[in-house]
Amino acid sequence: MAAALAGSFLSAGDVRLSSFQRCYAKKPECFRVLDNEKLLSKSAAFYRVSFSANKKGNFTVETIYRSSPIRCSSKAQATHSLSKSGVEDPSPVSTSLKAFAPATVANLGPGFDFLGCAVDGVGDYVTASVEPHIRPGTVAISAITGGNGVSKLSKDPLWNCAGIAAIEVMRMLSVRSVGVSLHLHKGLPLGSGLGSSAASAAAAAVAVNKLFGGHLSPLELVLACLVSEAKVSGYHADNVGPAIMGGFVLIRSYNPLDIARLDFPPDKELFFVLVSPDFEAPTKKMRAALPASIDMKDHIFNSSQAAALVSAVVLGDVKTLGSALSSDVIVEPRRAPLIPGMVEVKRAALQAGAFGCTISGAGPTAVAVIDDEEKGKLIGERMVEAFLSDGGLSSSMTVSRLDRVGARVISS
């Protein structure tokens, strides 16, 4: 029964929401909806549904999202099913090229799921190559290299962030004539709170897009990466947005996707002190710690701080940016106790002169902001000491600038 129900979806690709709901009502035990909020709105005619089969032969609904238009701050629009260029099965312009995508800091304190930025110096690399031995129209992962934890990553492209994003780009371009191989090099640790999955997806999406002529827009690439994020950590763009677009981004809406890039003044100094402890904080686990409801006074306070943060970014006011970044009263208080030493690390950063400090993304990395690189190094040293003395965790520290470019090709 489960296979029969899911089979119609697999062959259809895009299915009517009403059809899915009928099948779900008949046999709900066959499906596990991971992103249920996407079912709340019934205004869209179609939702896209992806499945996986478990050992018992049942199918799991991995992703449900609307096939609706995208809006961006420039008012340009694109559909999810076809690129704006209307290109069909483009020929590759190169046999191989390598792309880089930077680390990202999501949430920025009060901006949970709608604010994020890219930081320079660290990130993931993906080399995309046209390979005659790979079945046309498909993606294979030839190698995964990098630091600790890469052995945990699957080389099955359907279960790998880079592979999922690459497949989606191939689908959006309707590539059918050649197959593509990916070599993923992880420069970011897993579960670090620095957008590790987003960096892999962004680098793969940009590499494959450029391999076939670069016909997809940045917004379309963000959508391709969101398919990957939805499968591994949830449907949120505060990592993949800045990973693709660079700089600061504000997600105004997810349905339809509406992203605005916030320009930090180029003549202002801004440094991020990133301290990553030897501790893994899986995004799904950290999301499970969030409250189901919040008080109105907390909503009002966080909203005012998020607005202040956006204003500070545009004005280049690093002190106000730091103050707002430190002021989350909803998410950080629930997550900080799950990261050994985090409360004291924040205190140490502020006492050392940081303008602000919070958890980067879901953690465990702590991020502080300052306007002087040398002072940032001293702040980082105090934060490392606090992780060790109060959390019993060794940690590494780096001081980074804002990455204003985002994912890009670095060699071909």
Residue-wise pLDDT tens digits, 339-388: 999 999 999 999 999 999 999 999 999 999 999 999 999 999 999 999 99
Angstrom distances, CA of residue 349 to CA of 144, 327, 346, 360, 366: 35, 14, 5, 14, 10
Residue 234's pLDDT is what?
A: 79
Residue 233's pLDDT is what?
A: 76
Q: How confident is the model at residue 9 (pLDDT cuts 50, 70, 90)?
A: very low
Residue 42's pLDDT is what?
A: 34
In 3D space, the residue among 275, 245, 299, 251 whose CA is nearest the CA of residue 382 turns out to be: 275
Cis status, amide bond into 90, omega within 30 of 0: no
**Res. 30: pLDDT tops 90:** no
> Average pLDDT, stretch 105-120?
97
For residue 337, give both structure tokens.
Answer: 């106790």
Where is pLDDT greater, at 30 or 248?
A: 248
Does residue 106 contact residue 365 with C-beta atoms inside 8 Å? no
Does residue 147 contact residue 278 with C-beta atoms inside 8 Å? no
Number of other CB atoms surrounding residue 46 within 10 Å:
17
**Res. 13: pLDDT tops 90:** no
Residue 285's pLDDT is what?
A: 80
Measured on CA atoms in the order 84, 86, 87, 88, is the torsion positive or negative?
A: positive
Residue-wise pLDDT tens digits, 59-76: 444 444 333 333 333 333
Active-site positions? Answer: 229, 283
> Average pLDDT, stretch 87-95?
93
Residue 75's pLDDT is what?
A: 32
Residue 215's pLDDT is what?
A: 96
Measured on CA atoms in the order 331, 337, 338, 342, is the torsion positive or negative?
A: positive
Q: To the nearest whole number, what is the mean pLDDT of the chain?
A: 84
> Average pLDDT, stretch 29-47?
36
Residue with tokens 């999406």: 205
**Res. 137: pLDDT tops 60:** yes
CA distance 90 to 223: 20
Residue 284's pLDDT is what?
A: 75
Q: How confident is the model at residue 407 (pLDDT cuts 50, 70, 90)?
A: very high
Beta strand residue intervals within 58-212, DSSP E: 59-66, 70-72, 77-78, 96-106, 115-131, 139-146, 179-186
The secondary structure of residue 205, as a DSSP letter, is H
Number of other CB atoms surrounding residue 119 within 10 Å:
25
Find the range with the poorest average confidence among 1-10, 48-57, 128-137, 175-184.
Answer: 1-10
* Residue 381 CB burial class (10 angstroms; 0-12, 13-18, ≥19): middle
**Res. 412: pLDDT tops 70:** yes
For residue 176, give both structure tokens.
Answer: 């059918």
Residue-wise pLDDT tens digits, 143-185: 999 977 888 999 999 999 999 999 999 999 999 999 999 999 9
> Average pLDDT, stretch 3-30?
40
Q: What percent of the chain has pLDDT over 70?
A: 79
> Average pLDDT, stretch 395-403?
97
**Res. 49: pLDDT tops 90:** no
Q: How confident is the model at residue 10 (pLDDT cuts 50, 70, 90)?
A: very low
Residue-wise pLDDT tens digits, 207-228: 999 999 999 999 999 999 999 9
**Res. 400: pLDDT tops 50:** yes
Half-sphere exposure of 85 (CA within 13 A, CB side): 16
Number of other CB atoms surrounding residue 165 within 10 Å:
35
The whole model's pTM is what? Answer: 0.79
Residue 32's pLDDT is what?
A: 40
